[in-house]
Amino acid sequence: MEEIKDREKILKAVERYKKVSVVGLAKNVGKTTIVNYLAENFLNSCVMTIGRDGEEKDVLDGASKPQVRIKSGNFAVISSKYIPRGIEIVETFDVPSGKVAFVMAKIDSEVQTVRVGGIEFTNNLSNYLLEFCDKIIIDGAFGRTGMASYAEAVIVVTGVAGDLSKNILKIKKLLSRKANREIQEKIFGNENFIVLSVEGNISILDPDEEFQKALEMSKDADFIYIPRVIDESTLSRIKCRVVVPSTDFVLADKVNFEVLRETNVVGIGVNSSSTKNDVNPRILMDELKNIFDDIIIFDVLYDP
């Protein structure tokens, strides 16, 4: 019996999920290639993004942005100002970024997806669009992993672009464990406040006005829950178990905290080529498989 290839395994892994996020850990790692691979293989799917603004060139480095390919009958969220031929508007929306269009391809087409707003707004819109399609494929922006905690399944994309060792730390961070049920129950109903447990006694503090007080109290606490973004310096000052809403609330790659919303990483997409250098794709995939042995490692362009 012929062995199932890794790039086929990832399709099987995400098949049952309705909301899939593809998160790039650096620029030019081939994220759009994987988005296109998913869109090509799942009918009645919709591609949307948390990062693009509909521009043809990247605002950071001026490079041409790759097009998103959608098959006939599939959907996308694009700027209402740029509707290519063969694309039919299903509905338009006024969103924080302007007016966008939810469209269906009448023929196989290429489009530029457009950012609709922040993470929660994108999540709410994607839930609505699932009334029209079977699967939402969310193109995660460079450096933004917040949408990952809202998706049912996440594919992380890495490669030779960027620092691979740092990207490995970012993946480990995304895999931060979920706080146990006992801690969750103590936080429940107070998710917008700092919650401390000191010898079983719960304190509820304002995250803006009492933040420093909470940090001082943490030295005697069993755990502290912080619903605001914290950096590595702040994290190092906390001497007890730390819980945050999701991994993007911590601006550090150290994995010494827990989350309320865990990230379901089902695959790691690999790009062995870049504009600057190439590596042997087998070596790159094997290196990642040795570290993340329970996650599918795949390269849609190379799969021996």
> 149-165 pLDDT, tens per residue?
889 999 999 876 667 78
Please say if the pLDDT value at position 61 is more than 90: no
Please say if the pLDDT value at position 8 is more than 60: yes
* 238-273: pLDDT as tens digits: 989 999 999 989 988 777 899 999 999 999 998 766
pLDDT score of 196? 96
Which contiguous run of DSSP H or E holds residue 123? helix 119-129
Q: What is the 3-state secondary structure (H, E, C) of 166-227?
A: HHHHHHHHHCCCECCHHHHHHHCCCCCCEEEEECCEEEEECCCCCHHHHHHHHHHCCEEECC
Give pTM, 2 decimals: 0.88
CATH architecture of 6-175+263-298: 3-Layer(aba) Sandwich (3.40)
Please say if the pLDDT value at position 277 is more than 50: yes
Domain with CATH 3.40.50 in the chain: 6-175+263-298
Please say if the pLDDT value at position 52 is more than 70: no
